[in-house]
Chain A
Amino acid sequence: MSFLPYVVAVWVCVIGLYGIVTSRHLIHAIICLSVVQSSTYVLLLAIGYRKGYAAPIFIDIPRSTKAVDPVVQALTLTDVVVGGAVTALLLAIAVQLDKHLGTLDPDELDPLRD
């Protein structure tokens, strides 16, 4: 079993967090949040993956075929839906904010500035 997917998952998570922390634009920050979210997809799929096993769809393969874990794939799907909902809502808020303030730079949004 390879460690690579786990390293990738952690890397994607950390790079996304770094992106949010240093972001200069709200849309950029929102995309970074979905990058962080994607790290969980990698992690979940890596946990269920077994080398050489088939996809867990038994329509055209014998029932006895060894397949990768379908549970984590279901979890990933749910997670994708959740992530999509959060991103959509955040983008909607960003659009409204832009309408009011005409900017999405966090420094311009900074309430401490004035």
Chain B
Amino acid sequence: MSSIPFATDLADLAPVAVAGPFLVAAILVTALPFTRRHVELIAALATSLVVALCVALLLKALHETGPVVSRLGGWQPRPGGVVVGINFTFDSLGAALALLAAVLVAAAQAFTLRFAAAVGATFHALLLVFLGGLVGFALTGDLFNMFVFFELMSVSAYALTAYRIERADSLQGALTFAFTNSVGAIMILFGIALLYGRTGALNLAAVGQALAGRESDGLVVVAFAMITGGFLVKAAIVPFHFWLADAYAVAPTPAGIVFTGVMSDLGIYAVARIYQTVFQAPLAPHAGGVRAVLIGFAVATALLGAVMALGQDHLKRLLAFVTISQIGLGLIGVGLLTPDATAGVALLISADGLLRAGLFVCLGAVLHRCGSVYQSRVHGAGKAMQRVWPVLFTAGTLGLAALPPFGAFWGKALIEGAAADQGYGWIPAVFFVATVLTAAALLRAGARVFLGWGAQSTSSSDPREPKAEERELEESRRRVPQAMLASAAALILAGLALGALPRVIDRAQQGAHVFADREAYAAAVLGRPIPTRPPVAAAHIGAFEVVLALVTVLAAVALAAMLLGRVRIPFTPPAGLRRAAERGFLRLRRLHSGQIGDYVAWATLGFAVLGGTLALAT
């Protein structure tokens, strides 16, 4: 262990990746009355520093057999396993999530590069606070710190959403976002307080160790339900999901890039992290029940998000529902509670996060060039854009649809394999339906905007869609700046190429096995030797998964072509069925009312259902 202030271990640099952005943000805001010069440059330098540090931490974590511990202030654990002080404890999965966040923030900054007038110094400062909170959240090993970083990130995200205070819909989106997420955060704190009351500890490893000795009881289950439910609000899992589409649709594009790419993913990361370190041992006898409950919520989310995505006219809102659906798919993997499924989730959320962020940049470019993001209003308007945009958009969509061997395919295949092992052989069907619907919605939107295909409809606009025309950037709309194109291309190519990294599946599996190893986590934090782990059996991804994925992509393309009227349907569905489906969809849409009261009521119901089903299951 190093002596402060001379850090000899790379892990001791972890706090810099958290404190750095906060410090720079504070400097930017303090200097605001005096100078606005070089704001972008300073912010970009800070983000680059975080990216570099996260890469270093990721490499370090990949080389270790257990989690990496960085003890703030050099406080060593007392003999007998008492942790003093607060520490950062992370493995390759945590470091990778922090890296993803930093990369997306860098992309968002690149997006704003040419528009200093449109986004001021405050925006950059908020983005940096958001980044600091995110990185801290991904790296920390302490329950209460998790809560604090979570709140730091959330509050700056509310402010980013409401950044354009001259627009009423931005403010309303930020309000529903802030209310539902604050309720979630309060529930998390309730759960943390209960755990502290039971164990007298806040360190994840220490709490887990204290709970490991005895059987779970009502208090442990209630704490688990409250903490999990709170994080599911952030992850926008049904019925906690209502805020997400309202907020993402109105957030400024650079903020939306980061939100859609990484914010919801943090919610399911937290559920997995806390389950594996704290609740794994006491809930082990009831793992089957917990699995069923989490997967139930996840499947509902994946399907509802996909159906809603298909019915959106507003492109950002469409992508928001795609996000919801995909986080649902991610939660399926988390809910399976096995290391291989977790490895799949890690691959899935990093590839999908990059691709969704890339698509969001594409939407930003459409907005910039065509002045709107309503499919009905920009129908065919994308023809005037450079030909590379439709290509990027399609590539991103196919990556999201898990076209082998790109992007999300490996993660999806790992999750499906793990599901079959756990007796959830029907999970691929959920993946199939959700992926086909979301990909078809995106492909249809792309064909409408960039090619002018399909009938120009005006009737299907959602009442929750923002009404006013978006005028994000006041500059000339003649051409899209190269910085936008560069960040879209970089994000989408990175998302596609992720699966091609050397031994990426193998490494994700190794990381996930460290992630899920409670004993190793506790040993590393409490200063005991890390127990040796049996070697990880390589996951088998066979021809079946490849064929299934190809069929999924083909089905999505076929559905999109059908919806665009490019392909004649050989049969006409009975009128009664169609009307029933339309009425059902309208009812579903009406639930997304934009009312804070309704959303909080749904969230409360969600907590009740989660707690009730968990109580029954354990």
Residues of chain A whose beta carbon lies under 8 Å from any beta carbon of chain B: 13, 17, 20-23, 26, 29, 33, 36-37, 39-40, 43-44, 47, 71-72, 75, 78-79, 82, 85-86, 89-90, 93-94, 96-97, 100-101, 106, 109-112
Contact = CB atoms under 8 A, between A and B. Distances in A.
Given A21-B604, A40-B193, A101-B168, A90 B175 contact: yes
A112 B196 contact: no
Given A72-B196, A85-B155, A93-B162, A36 B596 contact: no
B604 A17 contact: yes
5 contacts: A33-B183, A72-B193, A86-B151, A86-B158, A111-B467
Given A72-B193, A90-B175, 12 more contacts: A23-B596, A37-B186, A43-B190, A71-B202, A75-B144, A86-B158, A89-B155, A89-B158, A89-B162, A93-B175, A96-B165, A106-B595
A97 B228 CA distance: 33
Contacts of B182: 33, 36-37, 86
Contacts of A112: 463-464, 590, 593-594
Nearest to B589: A112
A85 to B, nearest CB: 5
A43 B595 contact: no
B439 interface: no
A16 to B, nearest CB: 9
A51 B590 CA distance: 52
Contacts of B597: 20-23, 29, 106
Closest 6 CB pairs of A and B: A47-B197, A100-B168, A21-B601, A96-B165, A82-B151, A21-B597
B155 A97 contact: no
Nearest to B601: A21
Contacts of B596: 20, 23, 26, 29, 106
Contact of B178 (A22, A23, A90, A106): A90
A79 B189 contact: yes
B595 A40 contact: no
Nearest to A34: B182
Contacts of B600: 17, 20-21
A109 B151 contact: no
Contacts of A97: 168, 171-172, 175
A43 B604 CA distance: 19
A104 to B, nearest CB: 10
Contacts of A40: 186, 189-190, 193
A93 to B, nearest CB: 5
B148 interface: yes
Main secondary structure of the interface of A (DSSP, over half): helix
Interface of B: 144, 148, 151, 155, 158-159, 162, 165-166, 168-169, 171-172, 174-175, 178-179, 182-183, 185-186, 189-190, 193-194, 196-197, 202, 463-464, 467, 590, 593-598, 600-601, 604
Residue of A17, A22, A82, A101 with most partner-chain B CB within 10 A: A82
Contacts of A23: 596-597
A106 B594 CA distance: 9
Contact of A93 (B148, B166, B178, B194): B178
Nearest to B165: A96
Interface of B is mostly: helix
Contacts of B593: 110, 112
Nearest to B152: A82
Contact of A89 (B159, B168, B202): B159
Nearest to A106: B595
Nearest to B188: A40
A96 B162 CA distance: 10
A110 B168 CA distance: 12
Interface centre among A43, A78, A86 (most CB of B within 10 A): A86
Contact of A17 (B151, B183, B595): B183
A39 B172 contact: no
Contact of A111 (B148, B174, B463): B463
Contacts of A111: 169, 172, 463-464, 467, 594
Contact of B179 (A20, A39, A47, A71): A20
A31 B485 CA distance: 45
Contacts of A85: 151, 155
Q: A13, A21, A44: which has the most chain B beta carbons within 10 Å?
A: A21
A3 to B, nearest CB: 13
Contacts of B185: 82
Nearest to B196: A47
B178 A89 contact: yes
Nearest to B465: A111
Contact of B171 (A37, A43, A82, A100): A100
A13 B190 contact: yes
Contacts of B148: 78, 82
A32 B463 CA distance: 28
A97 to B, nearest CB: 5
A29 B595 CA distance: 11
Contacts of A37: 182, 186
A79 B189 CA distance: 9
Nearest to A30: B179
Nearest to A78: B148
A43 B195 CA distance: 12
A22 B597 CA distance: 6
A22 B604 CA distance: 13
A29 B186 contact: no
Nearest to B592: A112
B183 A36 contact: yes
A100 B467 CA distance: 14
A93 B369 CA distance: 30
A82 B149 CA distance: 11
A43 B593 CA distance: 33
Contacts of A22: 597
Contacts of A82: 148, 151, 155, 185
A38 B179 CA distance: 15
B433 to A, nearest CB: 29
A109 B162 CA distance: 16
B197 A29 contact: no
A106 B159 CA distance: 21
A13 B165 CA distance: 31
A94 B158 CA distance: 13
A44 to B, nearest CB: 5
A109 B169 CA distance: 10
Q: Which of B162, B166, B594, B596 is the most central at the interface, judged by chain A CB atoms within 10 Å of its CB?
A: B596
A37 B467 CA distance: 33
Contacts of B590: 112
Contacts of A44: 189, 193
